[in-house]
Amino acid sequence: MLDADYHHLDHVKEQQKSKKTLWITLILTLFFTVVEVIGGLLSQSLALLSDSAHMISDVLALGLSMFAIFMATRKPNNHYTFGYLRFEIIASFLNGLTLIVIAVWIFFEGIKRMIHPQEVDLKLMLIIAVIGLIVNITLTYVLSRSMKEEENLNVKSALWHFIGDLLSSIGVIVSAILIHYTGLQILDPLISMVIGAIICIGGSRIVREAYLILMESVPPQFDLDEIRQDIGTIEGVEDVHEMHLWAISTQHYSLTAHVFIRADIQPFCVILAVNEVLKNKYKIAHSTIQIEHATIHDHGEYGKKFLLTHS
């Protein structure tokens, strides 16, 4: 009976640094979210309330990211042959959508407040915004350092959440100061809408990056034609076709290709050489190469030009 553990690659992702970082940010975010919700309700500031709504989404996003990191450590099985790495991308996609939904809500509330302005408690608004600024600077710094050590789309989406929070805090402070000196209450929803636009841009970028991975597009750092040419320079290789390259998750890539070789070349040597090129030059450790002969494998009109060399 064959061993059920048939993978020579684990298809798991250990992310100790990311896990520790997300725990720290989750605890600090949860604490400040409670403070900001209470402050936003008491001061009646839309800028604070929009920021607190964003903070609530941060808590949910961080929780989802933590679960994604846990899932990524689970080994593959006969149902999930790539393991659970893709859950990281699904979580990031949902986090990005959350950012966009929050931005839409901020725009909607901003328009309502512009039509019906409300008096805000500037002192309370400013105090909570300053505390928020300190917290968000700290969390943005922690997450950006983690990104340098471990590439993770989840942490990247969380980072965008906190960049949005950082800008929100700055916006609230600027809004409070301007309202104090000008008396224009409309500045509160107006600045909130500017913050909402920035949040929407960040969410759109995360959604797009996750979408491209879910659609199994070629990762942007790879040039498929260049890889095909490199494989074509290997001795005995006559043609490379049916080539596919996609990301399972960040830093986990897979490639498949069909390769025509000369009849006098040892196929195992070709496969070994192709794998070496992919691993050493492109850091692609998971590849499947199918060796073919035009005389055996029918390729229609495409294969006819190789028939003479294989006869």
Both 246 and 119 in one domain: the answer is no
Between residues 210 and 106, the one the model is more confident about = 210
Distances 89 to 56, 85, 212, 302 between C-alpha atoms, Å: 21, 8, 10, 37
Considering the chain, what percentage of its residues have pLDDT values greater than 90? 19
Does a structural domain hold residue 5? Answer: no
Both 128 and 26 in one domain: the answer is yes
Domain boundary among 214, 244, 275: 214
Q: In what order do the strands lie in the sheet with 252-261?
A: 237-249, 252-261, 286-292
Per DSSP, the three-state class of 226 is helix
Separation between Cα atoms, residue 188 and residue 129, nearest integer Å: 13
| Residues 135, 58 contacting (CB under 8 angstroms) | no
The per-residue pLDDT for range 215-250, each reduced to its tens digit, is: 999 999 999 999 999 999 999 898 999 999 999 887
Separation between Cα atoms, residue 131 and residue 258, nearest integer Å: 59
Token pair for residue 255?
């490639």
Considering the chain, what percentage of its residues have pLDDT values greater than 70? 84
pLDDT score for 1? 42
CATH number for the domain harbouring residue 246: 3.30.70.1350
Both 183 and 292 in one domain: the answer is no
The per-residue pLDDT for range 104-148, each reduced to its tens digit, is: 888 887 888 788 777 777 787 788 778 878 887 887 787 777 666
CATH number for the domain harbouring residue 161: 1.20.1510.10
Domain boundary among 179, 214, 249: 214
Domain boundary among 214, 247, 268: 214
Distances 63 to 22, 29, 288, 304 between C-alpha atoms, Å: 9, 11, 36, 56
Q: What is the chain's Cα-based Rg?
A: 26
Does a structural domain hold residue 3? Answer: no
Both 127 and 183 in one domain: the answer is yes
Both 303 and 247 in one domain: the answer is yes
The answer to whether residue 2 scores a pLDDT higher than 50 is no
Mind spelling out the 3-state secondary structure of 119-139? CCCHHHHHHHHHHHHHHHHHH
Q: pTM here? A: 0.72
Structural domain of 277 = 224-310
Both 169 and 59 in one domain: the answer is yes
pLDDT score for 256? 94
- Cβ atoms < 10 Å from Cβ of 209: 20
